[in-house]
Amino acid sequence: MPKFLPTLARWSRLCVALAGIALLAGCDYNFWQMDGHQSTIVVDGPVAREQLKVFYVTVWVTSVIFVLVGGALAYATLKFRARNEAEEHAAPPEQSHGNPLVELSLIGASVLALVIIAVPTLRAIWYTYDIPEADKANAYEVTAVGYQWWFKFEYPAEQAAVDANSKTPLISANELVIPAGRPVQVHLRTVDVIHSFWVPKLAGKVDMIPNRANHLWLQADKPGYYWGQCAEYCGDSHAVMRFRVIALAPDEFNQWLEQQLQTARTVEASAADASRPKPQFAALRSFGQNEAGVTEQFDIAPLESWRAKQEPERNEDPALIARGRELFAAKTCNTCHTVRGHAAAGILGPDLTHVGSRSTIAGGLLENNREQLHRWISNPAAVKPGNKMGKAYVDNRITMTPEEETAIVAYLESLK
């Protein structure tokens, strides 16, 4: 027996042990639980559940095969291994060439295993493709449009006020609000490259492809706050093209709609304001590249945080907001953004009519708070490399003093 073998055995045992320890140490809170915000395993809707079921079927079938085939492989390796010098040099074994019967029956068994997978697969293909006939009447329709690198959401059935006498379908961005418990038909469109719409807890993804009318359906079992992400590589900032889906109970959904259909909120200066203390703004922090835009508190109760966003702040500074509104036009923000009722009707960027009521900005990347708004509008290119707003800053020569920034942020925050 070659003398290196014991050493080798020791080495390999060490390696395996290390690997085992490393894996077991994975008691990171959801490595094994698999219940992250974008989990496909802990799901909240019928479409994702159906897809999960198919996945489990494949897991079980392949696990059984793995045990059987792997067992045979392990057995053969251990049993027929040459253990010592003598066995290494023994006369060769019988030169047998195969056994058709064994092979045919194994082929048969494989086909059978595949049939077990194929049947639920076929069922689920049809189920997940379209809303079940019975539920169609109850379905809610929205259109999601991909942009490099954010999502626009249209509610074709809802007519929002532009001003006193004209209306337009409701448009929002980056946060899709849907009624819980109802199937939602999502039409998928894109204005530039291919994107993909993916809310793992609600449904698998479907791509948004230029010149192609795709759709998907999903349903949230209960009110909740769901993470979504673009799942098709779409250029520089694909990684930070995210969005949220907020499912609300019917009443709350209608309430939300009602608010969104209004034109942008205008904060009037009142007599009372003069006596109120001016809000104190925290010193601006400079952010590192890629620094996280979310806080841990937010994660604990995201839906609650979102709800809190619906209410106007208590101590607003009307003068500052009014100044912000002026600057919004002066800095050419209105060439790209729509603020219904505030003489801003750009369409290249997200609709900001009710941006203050959203829990995130910049495509779900940053939490919507004062600091992050500052971070975003002071240098969008640093947050999302290559994005159009950053380019516009260069092209339109947009620069801002901290005071101007503060005013614009106050204005944006007031847009509930």
What is the C-alpha separation between 46 and 221, in angstroms, rounded?
7
Other beta carbons within 10 Å of 354: 26
- Asked if residue 110 binds ligand HEA (CB under 6 A), the reply is yes
Alpha-helical regions (H) of 181-249: none
Q: Which is nearer to ligand HEA, 9 or 76 (CB)?
A: 76
- Please pick, from the candidates 265, 309, 340, 384, the single residue that binds ligand HEC as defined by CB under 6 A: 384
Which two three-digit tokens encode residue 250? 């019917």
Q: Which is nearer to ligand CUA, 46 or 146 (CB)?
A: 146
Partner whose footprint covers residue 157, from ligand HEA, ligand CUA, ligand HEC, none (CB < 5 to 8 Å by kind): none
- Asked if residue 217 binds another protein (CB under 8 A), the reply is no
Bridge partner residues of 215 (DSSP)? 187
- Asked if residue 400 binds ligand HEA (CB under 6 A), the reply is no
User: Closest approach of Cβ 35 to ligand HEA, in Å?
Assistant: 23
What is the residue type of 36?
Answer: G
Q: By CB under 8 A, what part of segment 74-133 binds another protein?
A: 76-77, 80-82, 87-88, 90, 92-100, 102-103, 106-107, 110-111, 114, 117-118, 120-122, 124-129
Phi, psi for 57 (deg, rounded to 5): -60, -45
Which two three-digit tokens encode residue 394? 């260069």
Which two three-digit tokens encode residue 197? 């719409």
Inter-CA distances, 78 with 63, 90, 99, Å: 21, 17, 22
Q: Which is nearer to another protein, 69 or 343 (CB)?
A: 69
What is the C-alpha separation between 220 and 243, in angstroms, rounded?
16
Q: Which is nearer to ligand CUA, 54 or 234 (CB)?
A: 234
- Please pick, from the candidates 172, 174, 196, 414, the single residue that binds another protein as defined by CB under 8 A: 196
Segment lying near ligand HEA (by CB under 6 A), choices 41-49, 61-69, 91-99, 317-325: 61-69
What is the residue type of 401?
Answer: T
The SS3 call for residue 338 is strand
Q: Which is nearer to another protein, 27 or 137 (CB)?
A: 27
Q: Are 409 and 374 in contact (CB under 8 A)?
A: yes
- Please pick, from the candidates 392, 407, 410, 415, the single residue that binds ligand HEC as defined by CB under 6 A: 392
- Please pick, from the candidates 19, 73, 82, 114, the single residue that binds ligand HEA as defined by CB under 6 A: 114
Pairing of strands 140-147, 184-190: parallel
Partner whose footprint covers residue 195, from ligand CUA, ligand HEA, another protein, none (CB < 5 to 8 Å by kind): ligand CUA
- Asked if residue 170 binds ligand HEC (CB under 6 A), the reply is no
Select from 301, 264, 228 the least CA-distant residue to 413: 264
Angle between helices 100-129 and 46-79 (to 10 degrees): 160
- Asked if residue 193 binds ligand HEA (CB under 6 A), the reply is no
What is the C-alpha separation between 171 and 164, in angstroms, rounded?
18
User: Closest approach of Cβ 43 to another protein, in Å?
Assistant: 9
User: Closest approach of Cβ 405 to ligand HEA, in Å?
Assistant: 34
Task: List all residues 6 or more positions away from 241 whose beta carbon is below 8 Å from its beta carbon.
Answer: 146, 148, 149, 150, 151, 195, 229, 230, 234, 363
- Asked if residue 314 binds another protein (CB under 8 A), the reply is no
Q: By CB under 6 A, what part of segment 104-163 binds ligand HEC?
A: 149-150
What is the residue type of 12?
Answer: S
Q: By CB under 8 A, what part of segment 362-401 binds another protein?
A: 385-386
Q: Are 175 and 360 in contact (CB under 8 A)?
A: yes
Kindly tell me the sign of the dihedral angle through the C-alpha atoms of 52, 55, 61, 62.
negative
What is the residue type of 95?
Answer: Q
- Asked if residue 121 binds ligand HEA (CB under 6 A), the reply is no
What is the C-alpha separation between 373 and 392, in angstroms, rounded?
17
Q: By CB under 8 A, what part of segment 4-63 binds another protein?
A: 4, 7-8, 11-12, 15-16, 18-19, 22-23, 26, 28-31, 34-41, 48, 50-52, 54-55, 57-59, 62
- Asked if residue 335 binds ligand HEC (CB under 6 A), the reply is yes
User: Closest approach of Cβ 190 to ligand CUA, in Å?
Assistant: 8
Q: Are 164 and 149 in contact (CB under 8 A)?
A: no
Q: Which is nearer to another protein, 108 or 169 (CB)?
A: 108
Residues contributing to the site for ligand HEC (CB under 6 A): 149-150, 173-174, 331-333, 335-337, 348-350, 352, 355, 358, 361-363, 376-377, 384, 387-389, 392, 396, 398, 408, 412
Residues contributing to the site for ligand HEA (CB under 6 A): 62, 65, 69, 110, 113-114
